[in-house]
Structure 1
Amino acid sequence: MSDIDRTPPKVHLHINGERLEAGAGGFYDHISPVTGQVDAQIPLADKQEVDAAVDAAHQAYQSWRKVAPAARRAMLHKLADLLDENAVEFARLGALDNGTPVTIGTPFAATCSEWTRYYAGWADKIQGDLTGNPVCDGELGYTLAQPYGVVGIIITWNGPLISLAMKIPAAVAAGNTVVVKPSELTPFAGELFMDLVEEAGFPPGVINLLPGTAEAGAQLVTHPLVKKVSFTGGPVTATRILQSCAETMKPAVLELGGKSANIVFDDADLDSACAIATTFSLSLLTGQGCAYATRLLVQDTVHDEVVARVKAIAESIAIGDPFDPAVFTGPVVNEAALTRILGVIEKAEADGATLITGGERIGGELADGYYIQPTVFTDVDPDSDLAQNEVFGPVLAIFKFSTEEEALAIANNTRYGLSSYVQTKDLNRATRLAAELDAGETLVNGAQNLKIGRPFGGFGLSGMGKEGGRQGIEEFLRVKAVGIAMSV
């Protein structure tokens, strides 16, 4: 057993630079996914705290939008430095939040600091365009790229720190202020993040964070002073958000789920392809990631070899206590997730898929936690529930194909369109598929996921809008056109 401190920090509602120990929403019993026991009580905001936070953010916006871009840049760089300095503590908090192993929690913090630095660099590069020539048109025309005002941010539980880093730095670099509602399932990383926001010198009210009830989330979305919504989560909640936003034509950026295809051709580097296929579906975050390649499409000539390799890798995954530095995979987030995923596995077997490995809850010394064996199916019907619906757990479905056209048809047979993956040494083939795959991104031969300078966001049921790259800051800017008639 690791000797890392397992004491959760005290969680607060962070409104206008103040820390509130309680809210009108009562308290939530946080249950450790490792032990199945309550380890902390989380204060929850209700409508009145959301109103207070939005009002504070609106007041802060009046001055924040006029802060020199270089000053916003400096604060973000300071925040990035602090994220780096606290990487080990963020890893500890990730293990407490949702069972993310400390082994991968530390590099996750480094990724978050890089997202913060990237958007710090954009703060002083926001500019408009010249649209009219006074000599030829008799008019001086130009555009202004301006912040919206208060942005309401709602994030989910699987990667709370990276979700904060993907949204907040871009929003505040553009001159907006934010009110963030994190999931009550994962409150601890946000608590430290807000400590660092204060230490970095952000004025009160610029960044507010408050776990809250479902009613609090609805209040944040519909509040008239919230001018845009940024949401990470599932399509059911996203639909309700869009319905609420439609009443006032409020814009929203939605980063939702995925059912990503990973296409392995017979000329691929199978060592790399099989490692990627298994790690990014069964091991990393215990399969609880929206962009993970949970559908593995394998060319028939190497199908049996790939299945054997994936099975061997899956059965070698080190599963256990997330505080143990030797462990790479922890539990799923809670008992509800455990029950749901086991139900998916049972349904897949009933539908005729062949279980290659896994499929059960892990017992023994891990029996009190929410641990599931890494699970692999073959002979999966492309139209089955397992093929069509996001599992958000350590379950991989393998399909066989013969031709490039067949692989493309299977890959695009989904309502989702977040990510796609191709493994081949034929770059002509890779670029052909990248153009035809109906997904927001295509990553070839192990290209890095969530590369900061590249826009991330899906099509279809995977959402709308982008995070990352230039497009990521443009999501938090609206364009105003100006025309000035010039005297001749």
Structure 2
Amino acid sequence: MSKPLQVERKRLLIGENWVDALSGETFPTLDPANGQVLAHIARAAPADVDLAVAAARKAFTGPWSKLRPAERQRLILRLADLVDRDAEELAVMDTLEMGRPIVDSRRVIGIVSRGLRHFAGLATSIRGATAPNSHPLDLLSYTLKEPVGVVAAIIPWNGPLFSAAWKIAPALATGSTVVLKPSEEGSLTPLHFAALCLEAGIPAGVVNVVTGFGDVGGALSAHMDVDKVSFTGSLETGQKIIQASAGNVKRVTMELGGKSPNIVFADADLDLAAQGSAMAVFANSGQVCAAGTRLYVERSIHDEFVERVAHHGRQLRIGAGIDPETQLGPIVSAKQLDRVTSYFDIGRQEGARIVSGGERLSDAAYASGNFVTPTLFAGVRDDMRIAREEIFGPVVSALPFDTLDEVIDRANDSRFGLAAGVWTSNVTKAHQAIRRLRAGSVWINHYMAMDPAMPFGGYRMSGYGKEGGLEHIEAYLETKGVWVRTA
């Protein structure tokens, strides 16, 4: 087992300097497994945001945006090497601060490393195109791709390092600069990642980090010298950011919430589907935007399948994430724990039945942490709050269905459209579901596969814009149309 981090003071990164907030204020970040303070982190304010944006603008208008693609690629590859070097330290930081089991945190480091190398490759693949035109004069027409400029990246606590890398890497590849605002509940690995950016040789001001609370994100969103906001987080916060961005009509990418359907047909491999459906919502203690929290099960197998999923949940070992035997870690904060457990009462009051879980663990080793049992509700109706609202905890609602047409209509009856899962051995049925589900990602006989080569993002109120794939790079680029008179 890795040793806990020593309590220390963490500063802001503005330009090339690690500095205290202008106010001198700090806030503690806590281990959700035991409530102990991990570090005291600088609490930025709008005045600190102004300094960080100015540093990012200076770096952008300097040599950074003009650097040759191969040189940007070399720096990103060096950054990937440093992430590999510090993999265990980064994994421990993520686990201690937000509770994810250490085994999963180590896996995430591998995804981050792979993603950096993916974006490094794209740095040398950005290109415009010639466009045949029908203008009556003899004119050559083509497009240029140029960096968008200063990017405000605002990220959540449920995957601090992953989210930081996923925002910063495409900016580095395109020649943009970044001011990163991590969640106040997940700042340690983003700060360490920024330090690695400097160590890799990325020029000062290209990556800046301002830690703090909502006023910092609000100041970035409204800042007149920010060209783009890339946000991952809740729908409600996303709506505020969209409103704030209107001042200078910023480019905006929104990856928001979800209430994703996971559909199991009777002809599926039920062993595979039960395990996959359990971890579709219990992984990372359900603190995943794309979690499969609406479990639609064909009526002929409903009761048996629900019990299989409940059994998987009961078998999960709950404990501090730093313990390598832990499979289900704590909820990130006492506030979020209260939110999750409130839905136990809400579900019961609406008439649903708890098949398994539904408890906060508070005895012995769990007393000082934010632990809850993986919970499965049955007897759920589509209009219940537990079936419509994003809980962001290890809570799944099981709902029976009879036909494909019916379940597709019900699955799509949500304000969200982030992801969906389908379990079936019938390839025709699978492709019918793929075409008709209104979701940004659809997994067949699997759940939660992700790769930097594939776009990820939602429909409807789950946001707009994609992360991953070629769409991710495009979101950090401007397209310039060029006309040249040749005669």
What TM-score, normalized to structure 1? 0.97
CA distance in 2, matches of 1:297, 1:23: 52
Whole-Å separation in 2 of the counterparts to 1:238 and 1:287: 20
Aligned residues: 485
Shift of 1:39: 3.5
Paired position in structure 2 for 1:173: 173
Aligned residue for 1:479, secondary structure, equals strand
Q: Is the alpha carbon distance of 1:432 and 1:318 closer, same or farther for their aligned partners in structure 2, counting shifts above 3 Å?
A: same
User: Aligned partner of 1:247: which letter?
Assistant: G
Distance 1:21 1:325 in 2: 35
CA contact (8 A) 1:24 1:49 kept: no
Counterpart CA distance in 1 for 2:229 and 2:214 is 15
In structure 1, the residue matched to 2:84 is 84
The answer on whether the counterparts of 1:227 and 1:250 sit within 8 Å (CA) in structure 2 is yes
Q: Is the contact between residue 13 and residue 23 of structure 1 (CA under 8 Å) also seen in structure 2? A: no
CA–CA distance in structure 2, aligned partners of residues 363 and 83 of structure 1 = 36
Alpha-carbon distance in 2 for matches of 1:7, 1:309? 42
| Structure 1 residue 248 displacement after superposition | 2.3
Match of residue 316 from structure 2? 317
8 Å CA contact retained: 2:9, 2:42 = no
- State the 1:38 CA deviation: 3.3
**Amino acid corresponding to residue 103 of structure 1 in structure 2:** V
Show the counterpart of 1:302: 301
State how far apart, in whole Å, the 2-side matches of 1:185 and 1:338 are. Answer: 13
Q: In 2, Cα distance between the equivalents of 1:103 and 1:441?
A: 25
Alignment correspondent of 1:382: 382
CA shift for structure 1 position 32: 2.0
Aligned to 1:7: 6
In 2: Cα distance, 1:99 partner to 1:183 partner: 14
Letter in 1 for 2:459: F
Distance 2:343 2:135 in 1: 67
Task: String of CA shifts for 1:436-474, please: whole Å, max 9, x gaps.
Answer: 001111111116522211110001111110000000100
Query: What does 1:51-70 correspond to in 2, within 5 Å?
Result: 51-62=50-61, 63-70=63-70
Within 5 Å, which residues of 2 pair with 1:13-412? 13-24=12-23, 26-62=25-61, 63-132=63-132, 138-282=138-282, 284-364=283-363, 365-412=365-412
Displacement after TM superposition at 1:399 (Å): 0.6
Q: Tell me which residue corresponds to 1:416.
A: 416
- The yes-or-no answer on 1:481 pairing with 2:477 is no
Cα displacement (A) at 1:119: 0.8
Q: Residue type matched to 2:333 in 1?
A: N
Answering whether residue 459 of structure 2 is matched by residue 459 of structure 1, we say: yes
Contact 2:255 2:465 in 1 (8 A): yes
- Residue identity in the other structure for 2:56: A
List alignment gaps of at least 5 residues for structure 1: none
Contact 2:2–2:92 under 8 Å retained in 1: no
Distance change in 2, residues 1:3/1:57 (3 Å): closer
1:153 is displaced (CA, Å) by 0.6
Kept in 2, the 8 Å contact 1:25–1:46? The answer is: no
Q: Retained in 1: the 8 A contact 2:151–2:178?
A: yes
Matched residues in 2 for 1:475 and 1:459: separation? 16
- The CA distance in 1 between the partners of 2:131 and 2:424, in whole Å, is 45
CA distance in 2, matches of 1:96, 1:5: 8
Name the CA distance, whole Å, in 1 between partners of 2:215 and 2:45: 6
Which of structure 1's runs of 4+ aligned residues deviate more than 3 A? 132-137
Identity %: 38
Structure 2: segments with no counterpart, 5+ residues: none
Give RMSD over aligned pairs: 1.5
2: distance between equivalents of 1:8 and 1:431?
Answer: 52
Residue 457 to residue 38, structure 1, CA distance change in 2 (3 Å): same
Other-structure match for 2:468: 468
- Which residue does the alignment assign to 1:433? 433
In the alignment, the residues of structure 2 paired with residue 135 and residue 41 of structure 1 have an alpha-carbon distance, to the nearest angstrom, of 62
What letter is aligned with 1:21?
A: D
| 3-state SS in 1 of match to 2:227 | strand
- SS at 1:131's partner residue? coil
Is the contact between residue 280 and residue 448 of structure 2 (CA under 8 Å) also seen in structure 1?
no
Q: CA deviation at 1:134?
A: 9.7
In the other structure, the counterpart of 2:444 is 444
Letter matched to residue 215 of structure 1:
D
